[in-house]
Amino acid sequence: MADVPNLNLNNGQTIPQLGFGVFQIDPAETADAVAKALDVGYRHIDTAEMYQNEKGVGEGIRAAGLDRSEVFITSKLSNAAHRPDDARAAFDGTLAALDTDYVDLFLIHWPLPTSYDGDFVSTWKTLEEFYRAGRARSIGVSNFQVPHLRRLAAETDVVPAVNQIEVHPYFGNEEVRAYGQEHGILTEAWSPIAQGAVLDDPTISTIAERVGKTPAQVTLRWHVQRGDIIFPKSTTPSRIKENFEIFDFTLEDEDMAMINALDKGEEGRTGGHPDTLAFP
């Protein structure tokens, strides 16, 4: 089994390109799922305050008998906590729930440009505090559109290490990815298999049959070859393993192009739109 590549973030830290996502995993089942993923070999867990399962993530890591330093942990600020004092309290809560004194990466989950007087800049400056104190080894954003990123560039000091956005074969999100590439911000692709919606696609199935892999593996491999970071979610042990086995084959340029061509633009978006998603 080939190793998971580590990608360089813009601040000298590194991140495993493949992780394990825990969105929609029941808090009571999270520790088991995380321990299973770590047993398979994952060393990167993506959680969030809003998933309400940070405690299970910490428990799963301890249950697996791994040292804290062996696992890259990402969490995200709740949409309910953008005001600086709320963000400070929420971040304390994240560290307490995970039972750790730092996270590897902490993100603003959504920009919420129509809430909090449109002020995600103060929120970002609060994350800069966590970063400078070493309590977040890296900081980044999620669901930020290009104008949001431009505003951070103009008004703040630290360039986000990543932007975690919806990306899968039906929604390439290319404009936001391109801005990241130009500015040293790595793209993290959420819902990398579109929660299963791309797995019956005839183009993907045909490629999968030819290369002797599953549609999920082909799709995840496509992301990896585009340079994005992914963390597929599953609570099914066989799929947790399947999604990890994507480093022993390569897609040809022609296959990559065929999957790129499945992009439906905005029509392919499955989640909320970052310009309009609001709190509460």
Ligand X SMILES: NC(=O)c1ccc[n+]([C@@H]2O[C@H](COP(=O)([O-])OP(=O)(O)OC[C@H]3O[C@@H](n4cnc5c(N)ncnc54)[C@H](OP(=O)(O)O)[C@@H]3O)[C@@H](O)[C@H]2O)c1
- Contact predicate 119/86, CB 8 Å: no
- Nearer to ligand X among residue 130 and residue 190 (C-beta): 190
Query: Is 34 one of the binding residues for ligand X (CB under 6 A)?
Result: no
From 53, 75, 100, 191, residue interacting with ligand X (rule: CB under 6 A)? 191
CA 233 – CA 214 distance, rounded (Å) = 16
Half-sphere exposure of 222 (CA within 13 A, CB side): 32
- Nearer to ligand X among residue 100 and residue 214 (C-beta): 214
- In three-state secondary structure terms, 53 is coil
Query: Is 22 one of the binding residues for ligand X (CB under 6 A)?
Result: yes
Contacts with ligand X by CB under 6 A: the residue count is 27
Q: What is the DSSP letter of 66?
A: -
Mark residue 250 as left, alpha or beta (left: phi above 0; alpha: psi -120 to 50; beta: remaining).
beta
Q: Tell which positions 127-166 bind ligand X, by CB under 6 A.
A: 142-143, 164
Cβ neighbours of residue 31 closer than 8 Å, sequence gap 6 or more: 56, 57, 59, 60, 63
CA 86 – CA 94 distance, rounded (Å) = 12
Q: How far is the CB of 104 from ligand X (least distance, A)?
A: 14
Query: Is 242 one of the binding residues for ligand X (CB under 6 A)?
Result: yes
Query: Is 236 one of the binding residues for ligand X (CB under 6 A)?
Result: yes
Q: Tell which positions 193-232 bind ligand X, by CB under 6 A.
A: 193-196, 199, 216, 231-232
Query: Is 53 one of the binding residues for ligand X (CB under 6 A)?
Result: no
Shortest CA distance to 142 belongs to which of 91, 194, 185? 185
The DSSP result for 97-154, as a single string, is HHTSS-EEEEEES---TTSGGG-HHHHHHHHHHHHHTTSEEEEEEES--HHHHHHHHH
Q: C-alpha angle with apex 132: 128 to 136, nearest 5 degrees? A: 75
Query: Is 233 one of the binding residues for ligand X (CB under 6 A)?
Result: yes
**Active-site residue flag, 179:** no
- Nearer to ligand X among residue 30 and residue 100 (C-beta): 30
Q: How far is the CB of 56 from ligand X (least distance, A)?
A: 13
Beta strands per DSSP E along the chain:
6-8, 14-16, 20-21, 44-46, 72-77, 103-108, 136-142, 162-166, 186-190, 229-230
Active-site pick, 51, 131, 170, 179: 51
From 13, 115, 225, 235, residue interacting with ligand X (rule: CB under 6 A)? 235
Query: Is 56 one of the binding residues for ligand X (CB under 6 A)?
Result: no
Which residue's CB comes closest to ligand X? 21
Q: Tell which positions 85-124 bind ligand X, by CB under 6 A.
A: 109
Q: How far is the CB of 74 from ligand X (least distance, A)?
A: 8
Q: How far is the CB of 143 from ligand X (least distance, A)?
A: 5
Residue type, 119: D
Please identify every residue annotated as catalytic: 51
List contacts with ligand X (CB under 6 A).
Answer: 21-23, 46, 109, 142-143, 164, 190-196, 199, 216, 231-236, 239, 242-243, 271
